[in-house]
Structure 1
């Protein structure tokens, strides 16, 4: 059945209106306040995203809020601009003045209806609340023909009294009826029951849009919102990133993607341009200084990232095995196969191919994968640069005469540093225990003891492959012997081990010439 709405015209029964309250309820979160310029930027982003209603603020709350609502009303093209007002003459008048310049405008007025709120917050009797419902909606209609009325703490309101209040609001001219779960108390079954009951019992309910505004105190904000839609709600009140009072509101991005991904369970449609979700989320995070948690649905950096070897293998075979929506559909560029200790051989080989090491042999792959696993046990995240350094280090050592086995180092300010080194030379394990002016010098002395040579050390340099205290060190050693100069590289999270690997690599170059099998672009 269709509804004729003053701002939206004829609305079919499966259309869901997205009412964004990021700039009002969202901004009420501690630490999330925005200045005028920031609110205007967010309003433009919300318009581009395709929200139907922007609740721009609470005009009576402060001169700043009044100005923000007024300016958003002036610039917003497309969405309805709403101002919030308590059931008080001053509030409603301020809201009416603030939204005056909007192409499409709405006043959203509310009053508490639960026994707890009426007794302790309002100190009003139910009959007085009913009178306030009628008078507030009637006054609001003097400023706009689009008036939304909300029953604050509606899900803890006696159902009979709630129906009386809704009936009064409709008779007074409300076009949208909001039954909010103000304190996040409800469960999905409550939402279906409440909306179904009110719509069935209240005269005139078929002429208005019912709205759900669910808080997330029990982590049920999105579930309750979708349940309300099952009960007949066709406006959804939500915020970007789920920000809002206490534990926040139902998250816009989660709701619209649940509708898009599960049309069998949520057979509705909306006007959100989902590919703009991520950029809108990031803009809000930048403005407020609060990033979403990594595992946040849809917009968290791990939402389309896979580290588990089993998952990565499935993703490489068919993305649908572990992703129910595409990253591109919400604004991400692509799926990320995060390389870590849970990654498997298939993902590692795929990563090597993407980095240009498609022709790496099986033996080199196995050795590189083992070193990758060792590295991943020491690092939280293994970056592409880490893998390039690691594989570069391994591929060049597939036919070495001298191979690194182990190293122990003792260093400090009291005794001369000492290095206990174990190498394999032509398959034979040899050990040396040497001291030096520093731990690197001691380690190099141990190399010389195990494999005597006449090469001179011309250069030793150390750099970090990536950032952080757990970053790999990448060392370069330049040796000269009989007029021939060679460079050796080594990488490891332990700088001394990296230095030894670099020295050994240079020595092997002096022993035998060989061609590297990695692409030039990556070996530069």
Structure 2
């Protein structure tokens, strides 16, 4: 357990700790609500990797998934529950008996487990989504919480679309949930509709008007449709909520959730205005952000608060002068407080294994011997091609290595002919389960030709809704980072590739996405791959 948790066990009711400040429980929903973000689906192994880091960094409750949704979701929640060392592991369940039973089974191996059950309470949800009246909603609230309590004494109940629910009826639902045994009550702004003043007033009203409100911890779960998720969440805490539901990088449905890193650092930085504290090891925030970005292939915007590439960058001469004289002139928190180290240009073609390993540790990577050797070989090859190897280059390189470690398909060689004269042509060699296949194809541009060649070797029915290219660093020798998204029926996957050659990076990204798609059972199986020579 992290020393900064003042001996408070995770999932315990909030209490005063640091200098009399109230503790705010951090409930992370990256693996549940975050994964519902279109294109952000993670593999089983990736979910375990994210959960392990969340557990280590001090997250109180990890909402690991929606067990009834699929066998894969059930198994990942169960395995996360089995592996968790500190965090409470939570599963989501609708107000239905089967949902709750399956959820209870999934969280059973956890040292501490929680069932989170919910139902829509607003007029819109009652009429159009469920076609039931107020009396039936109240009946289902009581029945679902009672059922969940038969499995665990840690039960959370949520009023979906609470901010558009009549206050009197919402209070009645909250009272019923607590009476049935809910220990945490979540008041979500499901559609991101509320303003901070409105949301604070709602939390305050519920706590004051519900007779048994003192028997539960109140929680916020705010969406970012109007860009107010973090502001609403903090307003809710100011009004009496002591749990915040959030996600790394603000990942989530539509415009996303309240960003975990912003919630945590706002509370830490503005303790004068918000007398609260959390148990999060903030020096791991950047590492968590980069991990979630890598496994979901969702890039973090450069100017993203706390973890964006430019969050601690200064280009204005006035700002640079001020920071050089005294950092606090233009920085309200230190880069080190969120796990950033000052980038340097010390890595190059003469750097050895020891220096490379230390650099990886500094950047938050722990690789096994084989993975380290593979990454080192790629680093040396990159250093031969680039004048300066930046930290971002190494991160892109290692992320590529980790992402492709379990891929059955790998790019061996690629030759592209492009130009105004045409036709554009690509010849690619892929390694599929240890056997090499080569194909040559023409296309409308070098990228199209490359992807056509890959599709000829690995026939599939997926379409390409996203192809995105960005530079890892600046300069003409910068690595290109490519993100590819493939859709096949109801399956959506993303792949990421990096290289100083944009065409190679594109091929790697496409193959990475294709490997994930085939692993999930695309309409063409690996066994049907064609050998073109």
Quick check: which has more Rg, 1 or 2?
1
Q: What displacement does 1:100 show?
A: 0.6
Pick the aligned partner of 1:302 from 310, 316, 321.
310
Q: What displacement does 1:7 show?
A: 4.8
Pick the aligned partner of 2:168 from 152, 160, 165.
160
Deviations 1:461-483 (A, max 9, x none): xxxx9742899xxxxxxxxxxxx
Asked if residue 199 in structure 1 is aligned to residue 207 in structure 2, the reply is yes
Q: Is the 8 A contact 1:298 1:330 kept in 2?
A: yes
Asked if residue 211 in structure 1 is aligned to residue 215 in structure 2, the reply is no
Q: Is the 8 A contact 2:225 2:256 kept in 1?
A: yes
Q: TM-score if structure 1 supplies the norm length? A: 0.63
* In 2, Cα distance between equivalents of 1:184 and 1:221: 7
* In 1, Cα distance between equivalents of 2:13 and 2:326: 43
SS at structure 2 position matched to 1:60? helix
Q: How do residues 83-482 of structure 1 correspond to structure 2 at under 5 angstroms?
A: 83-334=91-342, 467-468=475-476
Q: What displacement does 1:144 show?
A: 0.5
Asked if residue 11 in structure 1 is aligned to residue 15 in structure 2, the reply is yes
Asked if residue 36 in structure 1 is aligned to residue 44 in structure 2, the reply is yes
Runs of 4+ aligned residues of structure 1 deviating over 6 Å after TM superposition are 383-386
SS at structure 1 position matched to 2:341? coil
Structure 1 pair 307/177, CA: closer, same or farther in 2 (3 Å)?
Answer: same
* In 1, Cα distance between equivalents of 2:80 and 2:474: 44
Q: Is the 8 A contact 2:13 2:217 kept in 1?
A: no
* In 2, Cα distance between equivalents of 1:6 and 1:44: 15
Q: How do residues 479-494 of structure 1 correspond to structure 2 at under 5 angstroms?
A: none
* In 1, Cα distance between equivalents of 2:10 and 2:173: 22
Q: Please, which runs of 5 or more residues in structure 1 have no aligned partner?
A: 337-382, 387-464, 472-524
Aligned to 2:87: 79
Q: Is the 8 A contact 1:327 1:335 kept in 2?
A: no
Q: Is the 8 A contact 1:54 1:82 kept in 2?
A: yes
Q: What displacement does 1:10 show?
A: 6.8
Q: Is the 8 A contact 2:14 2:22 kept in 1?
A: no
* In 1, Cα distance between equivalents of 2:14 and 2:331: 36
Aligned-pair RMSD on alpha carbons?
Answer: 2.3
Q: Please, which runs of 5 or more residues in structure 2 have no aligned partner?
A: 1-7, 345-385, 390-472, 480-533
Q: Is the 8 A contact 1:5 1:175 kept in 2?
A: no
Deviations 1:405-451 (A, max 9, x none): xxxxxxxxxxxxxxxxxxxxxxxxxxxxxxxxxxxxxxxxxxxxxxx
SS at structure 1 position matched to 2:258? coil
* In 1, Cα distance between equivalents of 2:222 and 2:175: 22
Give aligned pairs, total: 345
Deviations 1:335-386 (A, max 9, x none): 89xxxxxxxxxxxxxxxxxxxxxxxxxxxxxxxxxxxxxxxxxxxxxx9969
* In 1, Cα distance between equivalents of 2:279 and 2:11: 15
* In 1, Cα distance between equivalents of 2:27 and 2:14: 17
Q: How do residues 63-78 of structure 1 correspond to structure 2 at under 5 angstroms?
A: 63-78=71-86
Q: Is the 8 A contact 1:73 1:101 kept in 2?
A: yes
Q: TM-score if structure 2 supplies the norm length? A: 0.62
* In 2, Cα distance between equivalents of 1:384 and 1:265: 47
Structure 1 pair 7/275, CA: closer, same or farther in 2 (3 Å)?
Answer: closer
